[in-house]
Structure 1
Amino acid sequence: MIESLTEFYERINSRGPMILNKGEEYIDIDASKCNIGKTSFSYRDFYKVALVLDIGKLYYADRWIMVDRPAILFSNPLIPYAWEAIEAGSERGMYCIFNESFLKSGDRNSSLAETPLLDISKERIYFIDDNTVNNIKELFAKMQAELTSDYTQKADVLRSYLHLLVHESVRGQLSDSYIPQKNAGQRTAELFLALLERQFPVEIPYKGLTLKTANDYAERLSVHVNHLNRVVKSSTGRTTSTLIINRIVQEGVQLLQHSNYSVGEIAFALGFEEPASFSNFIKKHTDLSPTAHRSPQIV
């Protein structure tokens, strides 16, 4: 499951944005509550930075952590998670939510490349002391005030505040108190299959295949590749690589049969550097060349 911005606002019973045009920037700040509540295990198609002042359990693919102190939570579209509140109805904290267009607009986004917003190897929950909590509250208040201002360049100001918010947060203590989940193997296998399907369909020339190997998927899911291979084989009876290859073959054949993109364009979109490599790949796994797969009406 992938939670959209619209679904997020429906879940918290709040009015969200109108339908956004492709590439349109969006950001929202709530300095009165963190709006995390009880969330199901899923991906999100937005980014979120939340100051969490309640007690709860944060779940990832194969581990969970008890959040029993003030903390900053970073959420991005690449890493699924769930939250279970210990005290129902309490949502003390603050949050900032924004889309990729907002994050990547401007000239300074590269400085976030090695922070928890973009670097999936980083931890995504940071416990912070009282002084840092006060500093972050002040930043959220300034961001909310700026959001409602009439200043024409307020998006740039908000991005600057976001940078400060991230860097202020990472000064906190890294968490290392993760506990393995029960049935984590099955959950990890399900997440892999969901992530695999999420890569398709490719949109030539805008969206190509980004995850191509078992290692790519393991890194995205924050698990070791050997663990991923083991749980996927146990759950499906097939190896991780076999499932990836089969899905790429399926997508390649569909594009050959039902689109007029060239073999080279399809090859590039599916992660092949040379059309010849793609042709050999298709021939190996289907016994037919790309040309043979072409529908009669497509030359």
Structure 2
Amino acid sequence: MNIKKEHLVSEFNSELKLKGFNVFEIDKDSYATKIYSRKDFYKICLTTGKSIIHYADRSFEHEGTILFFGNPHIPYSWESYCRKYTGYTCLFSEEFFKQCNQSDILQKSPLFQLGGTPILKITDTQRAFLNEIFCKMIENQQSNYSYRDELIRNYIHLIFHEALKMQPSEKYDAYKNSASRLTLVFFELLERQFPIESLDLPLRLKTAQDYASNLSVHVNYLNRVVKEITGKPTTVHITNRVVKEAEALLRNTNWSISDIAYALGFEYTTYFSNFIKNATGKTPKTIRATDI
């Protein structure tokens, strides 16, 4: 197999990968509230407008000012209901944040967990305070200060703590019984498999049995509780997520279809093509030729 490692990412994402951080005003960047070609970065948005955000298996409709926390391991999309959004966006890689001693906040913070609430309503007073923080980050991003990166990480920490003060802790106790907790852990494990970044690291968990083994439960029990909580079988969630990743790889990389099939755990390209056709009604070539 001819393994290619080059990704066709947007120019903006390529720039971000070099330094691991970028912050900008939303009304000065048309890509601010759209889906990036590969969501490889943590994202914090302070926005004013009307939209609906689809986050994992939930949707949040809002109007006014919100603070949004995006996790590269959890799929989301953003539909705007108004022509213009105002505010700020901050994007950073895990590697950028790992350079501080409190990087575990990315994994442990409820702001970035699947069962948490990634969207907070912001008052005018809170918006003024957060606006100032984002402006400070933009100012320092453009400076030659020797400790610029460290200062920016401190500003990100400050946003985290301000958000945690706004969010009632009981919001994170929505999953109380064992079935719900197991379902939550299943989804977290599912999302950790993505995005597929390299052909050297193909999809590891492919079946419901794979997930059950990793969670140390019987596959029948996992299937039962996931369907009880979500209304859909485990295999449907796995299939939907693999299809979503396949579409992203087909549209946003120059990998061959056979390489993508391999990356997603298919032994033969024909199996992959039939899988995609059954799930979407389109062939991989058709999806690749379709504009996003």
**Both proteins in one fold, TM over 0.5:** yes
In the alignment, which residue of structure 2 is the partner of 1:225?
Answer: 226
1:115 offset after TM fit, Å? 2.0
Equivalents in 2 of 1:142, 1:122: separation in Å?
Answer: 28
Provide the identity percentage: 23
In the alignment, which residue of structure 1 is the partner of 2:44?
Answer: 49
1:172 offset after TM fit, Å? 2.6
User: Aligned pairs, how many?
Assistant: 210
Deviations 1:121-157 (A, max 9, x none): 3211111211111110010011111111111221111
Query: Following superposition of structure 1 onto structure 2, how do residues 134-283 of structure 1 map, counting pairs within 5 Å?
Result: 134-173=128-167, 198=195, 203=200, 209=204, 213=211, 225-226=226-227, 231-232=232-233
Equivalent residue for 2:59, pick from 61, 64, 72: 64
Equivalents in 2 of 1:194, 1:108: separation in Å?
Answer: 23
Larger relative contact order (CA 8 Å, sep ≥ 6): 2
In the alignment, which residue of structure 2 is the partner of 1:296?
Answer: none
SS of the equivalent of 2:136 reads helix
Paired residue type of 2:55: Y
Gaps of at least 5 residues in structure 2 are 1-6, 172-188, 216-224, 242-260, 269-292
- Matched-pair contact (CA < 8 Å) for 1:54–1:68: yes
- Matched-pair contact (CA < 8 Å) for 1:74–1:116: no
In the alignment, which residue of structure 1 is the partner of 2:113?
Answer: 119
- Please say which structure displays the higher CA radius of gyration: 1
SS of the equivalent of 1:136 reads helix
- Matched-pair contact (CA < 8 Å) for 1:29–1:96: yes
Equivalents in 1 of 2:234, 2:226: separation in Å?
Answer: 12
- Matched-pair contact (CA < 8 Å) for 2:56–2:114: no
RMSD over equivalenced CA pairs, Å: 4.5
In the alignment, which residue of structure 1 is the partner of 2:182?
Answer: none
- Matched-pair contact (CA < 8 Å) for 1:5–1:46: no
Equivalents in 1 of 2:230, 2:59: separation in Å?
Answer: 21
In the alignment, which residue of structure 1 is the partner of 2:91?
Answer: 97
- Matched-pair contact (CA < 8 Å) for 1:57–1:83: yes
In the alignment, which residue of structure 1 is the partner of 2:70?
Answer: 75
SS of the equivalent of 1:145 reads helix
1:227 offset after TM fit, Å? 5.1
- Matched-pair contact (CA < 8 Å) for 1:126–1:170: no
Equivalents in 2 of 1:17, 1:41: separation in Å?
Answer: 11
1:216 offset after TM fit, Å? 7.5
Paired residue type of 1:30: F
- Matched-pair contact (CA < 8 Å) for 1:112–1:163: no
Paired residue type of 2:211: T
> Is 1:131 aligned to residue 125 of structure 2?
yes
Paired residue type of 2:72: P
Equivalents in 1 of 2:200, 2:53: separation in Å?
Answer: 34
Equivalents in 1 of 2:190, 2:31: separation in Å?
Answer: 26
Equivalents in 2 of 1:113, 1:193: separation in Å?
Answer: 15
Equivalents in 1 of 2:229, 2:150: separation in Å?
Answer: 40
Deviations 1:37-76 (A, max 9, x none): 6635986111110001111011124321111121101111
Change (3 A) 1:54 1:5: farther
Change (3 A) 1:153 1:197: closer
SS of the equivalent of 1:103 reads helix
Gaps of at least 5 residues in structure 1 are 10-14, 177-191, 218-223, 241-246, 255-299
Deviations 1:10-54 (A, max 9, x none): xxxxx554484xxx5411111353756663598611111000111
Deviations 1:74-132 (A, max 9, x none): 111111111111112x0211110111211212222134543245433321111121111
- Matched-pair contact (CA < 8 Å) for 2:74–2:191: no
- Matched-pair contact (CA < 8 Å) for 1:58–1:83: yes
